[in-house]
Amino acid sequence: MRPDPPERPFIDLVLPAKRHGETTLKRMGDWYSVGVFAGFGVALGIVAVGGLGGRRLALAAPLIAAAAGIAVGIVFADAEEAAGGGVGGLLGAAGALQIVGGAFRRGGTRLAVALLVVAGAAVVGALALVPGLGYVETVVLPALGMRLRRRSGKKYAGLRTLARD
C-alpha cells in the first residue's frame, strides 16, 4: 500500500481555490454562464443566416436562431441562460443578415459563403467562453450590421466615371 503524498505548500499559493473545492467559475456567478450562452446564441444566429442565406427564408433566420438559442439554454443550463441564448440568437442573426446578404450581392456562391460563415461562427462561439465577450458579441454584431446597412445604400461613381473617357 502506497502512503499519501506529502503536503505541498506551494500548490496552496498557486491554486488556493482548489484547496476547498471552490472554483473560479463558481465565484463568478450566473453572469458568466449567461454571457457564454448569449455568445453561443450569436454563433447559432450566424450559422442560421449562413445556412439560409440567399433565400427568402433567410428573413426567418433570427426567429429560428432565437428558438435554437433558447433550446440550447434549456437543455444545458437554466432559464437565465436560455434567455441569454435566445436574445443572442435573435441579435446575432439580425446582424449577420446584412453581412451575408452583401456577400451574395457581390457574387459569393452559397456553399462558399456558408462555409466561411460557419467558420466565423465557430470563432465567435469559442470567443464566447472568454468572460464578458459573449455580451460584447451580442451588442457588436447587430451594430456592425446596422452600420453596413446604412453604408450600403450609397452608390459611388468610382471607376464608372473614368470608363466614359
Convert the pLDDT of each residue in 147-157 to its tens digit.
Answer: 887 776 555 55
- Domain assignment of residue 71, yes or no: yes
Domain that holds residue 130: 44-50+58-145
Measure Cα distances from 137 to 6, 36, 93, 110, 165 in Å.
46, 10, 12, 25, 47
- Domain assignment of residue 134, yes or no: yes
Sequence-distant (≥ 6) Cβ neighbours of residue 2 within 8 angstroms:
none
- Domain assignment of residue 18, yes or no: no
Spatial contact of 23 and 71, defined as CB atoms under 8 Å apart: no
| Helix, strand, coil percentages for the chain (3-state, nearest 5) | 80, 0, 20
What is the pTM for the complete model shown? 0.76
Spatial contact of 44 and 91, defined as CB atoms under 8 Å apart: no
Chain segment 1-17, per-residue pLDDT in tens: 555 555 544 444 444 44
Chain segment 19-34, per-residue pLDDT in tens: 555 666 667 778 899 9
Percent of the chain with pLDDT over 90: 53
Q: Tell me how far apart the alpha carbons of residues 18 and 21 are, in angstroms, rounded to a whole number.
A: 5
Domain count, the chain: 1
Q: Tell me how far apart the alpha carbons of residues 59 and 48 are, in angstroms, rounded to a whole number.
A: 10
- From the list 134, 55, 131, the residue with the least C-alpha distance to 100 is 55
Which of 77-81, 97-101, 116-120 has the highest average model confidence (pLDDT)?
116-120
- Domain assignment of residue 118, yes or no: yes
pLDDT over 80 (residue 54): no
- Domain assignment of residue 34, yes or no: no
What's the pLDDT band for 39 if we cut at 50, 70, 90? very high
Q: Which residue has the cell 465557430?
A: 122
